[in-house]
């Protein structure tokens, strides 16, 4: 069984530029912002939960404060069928006691959410208890080394003759010591 080579006239048809396009023009445009590409990918996921762009999830610590954000997380946002009234925000809390606390703070939380969005986005809260996702804590600023710690580090490296190695080890030791508590 012999195969025939493809006809060059027919195969070129596949690569013909679109009408109005310039020959040799680059496809795909320039560089694209990663944030826009990620936004396009996550929008359908957030949309299923009622979060059109995820702003309430991303800004939850700014809206309710860091302490309350550690113990609660928005799950979904539901709206009535008529769409005329604001939505109900479903929150998950870590404990039943925290749910009671949030019930008492409900008017304040709703007011903060609506102020954040600039319109009456939420009119009520529904609470459930369960585990919430871990939130990333901002890194702590490294502390300054005491004179005693710096002297101890210099003395422990005094036996190293190579200046480059000693300097590299000293920098490493300082960065490790700055990230550990002083009493360690």
Please indicate, yes or no, if residue 5 is contained in any of the structural domains: no
Residue-level pLDDT at 49: 45
Residues 87 and 160 in one domain: no
More confident residue, 89 or 21: 89
Within this chain, do residues 72 and 153 fall inside the same structural domain, yes or no? no
Domain that holds residue 89: 34-129
Range scoring the smallest mean pLDDT among 31-45, 79-93, 118-132: 31-45
Considering the domain architecture, whether residues 102 and 160 belong to the same structural domain is answered as no
Q: How far apart are CA 154 and CA 138, in angstroms?
A: 31
Q: Which residues contact 43 (CB under 8 A, 6 or more apart)?
A: 52, 53, 54
| Pair (96, 167) in one structural domain | no
The CATH number that applies at residue 66 is: 3.30.300
Please give the Cα distance from 110 to 145 (Å, whole number): 45
Inside any domain, residue 59: yes
Structural domain tally of the chain?
2
Establish if 125 belongs to a structural domain.
yes
Residue 134 in domain: no
Task: Give the pLDDT confidence score for residue 125 in this predicted structure.
Answer: 92
Q: What is the pLDDT of residue 146?
A: 86
Q: Is 51 exposed, middle or buried (0-12, 13-18, 19+ CB in 10 A)?
A: buried
Q: Are 157 and 166 spatial neighbours (Cβ–Cβ below 8 Å)?
A: yes
Q: Which residue has the higher pLDDT, 158 or 85?
A: 158
Do both 57 and 109 map to the same domain?
yes
| Stretch 157-176: mean pLDDT | 88
- The H or E element that residue 78 is part of is strand 72-78
46 and 120 belong to one structural domain = yes
> Do 47 and 91 belong to one domain?
yes
At what angle are helices 163-178 and 147-156 packed, to 10 degrees? 140
Question: Among 29-33, 63-67, 85-89, whose mean pLDDT is lowest?
Answer: 29-33
CA angle at 156 for the pair 151 and 158, rounded to the nearest 5°: 90
- Among the residue ranges 5-9, 70-74, 99-103, 165-169, the one predicted with the least confidence is 5-9
Residue 107 lies in a domain: yes
pLDDT single digits (tens) 134-158: 766 656 677 788 888 888 888 888 8
Inside any domain, residue 184: no
Mean pLDDT over 70-89 rounds to 81
Does 38 share its domain with 109? yes
Give the count of beta carbons closer than 10 Å to the beta carbon of residue 79: 15
Segment 154-165 shows an average pLDDT of: 89
Examine residue 54 and state whether it is found in any structural domain, yes or no: yes
61 with 112, same domain: the answer is yes
Q: pLDDT of 20-48, one tens digit each?
A: 656 655 566 667 777 666 666 666 555 54
Q: What are the DSSP E strand ranges found in 103-163?
A: 122-129
pTM: 0.48
Question: Is residue 92 located within the same domain as residue 62?
Answer: yes
How far is Cα 20 from Cα 178, in angstroms, rounded to an integer?
62
CA 87/CA 121 separation, integer angstroms: 6
| Residue 120 is assigned to a structural domain of this protein | yes
């Amino acid at each position: 069984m012999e195969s025939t080579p493809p006809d060059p006239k027919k195969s070129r048809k596949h690569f013909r530029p679109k009408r109005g396009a310039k020959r040799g023009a680059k496809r795909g445009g320039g560089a694209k912002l990663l944030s826009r590409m990620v936004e396009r990918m996550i929008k359908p996921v957030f949309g299923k939960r009622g979060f059109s762009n995820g702003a309430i999830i991303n800004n939850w610590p700014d809206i309710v404060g860091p302490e309350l954000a550690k113990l609660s997380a928005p799950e979904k946002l539901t709206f009535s069928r008529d769409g005329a009234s604001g939505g109900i925000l479903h929150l998950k809390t870590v404990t039943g006691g925290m749910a009671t606390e949030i019930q008492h703070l409900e008017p304040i939380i709703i007011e903060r959410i609506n102020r954040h969005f600039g319109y009456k986005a939420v009119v009520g809260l529904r609470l459930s208890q369960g585990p919430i996702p871990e939130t990333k804590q901002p890194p702590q600023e490294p502390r300054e080394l005491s004179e005693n710690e710096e002297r101890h580090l210099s003395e422990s490296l005094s036996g190293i003759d190579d200046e480059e190695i000693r300097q590299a080890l000293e920098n490493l030791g300082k960065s490790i010591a700055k990230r550990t508590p002083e009493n360690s």
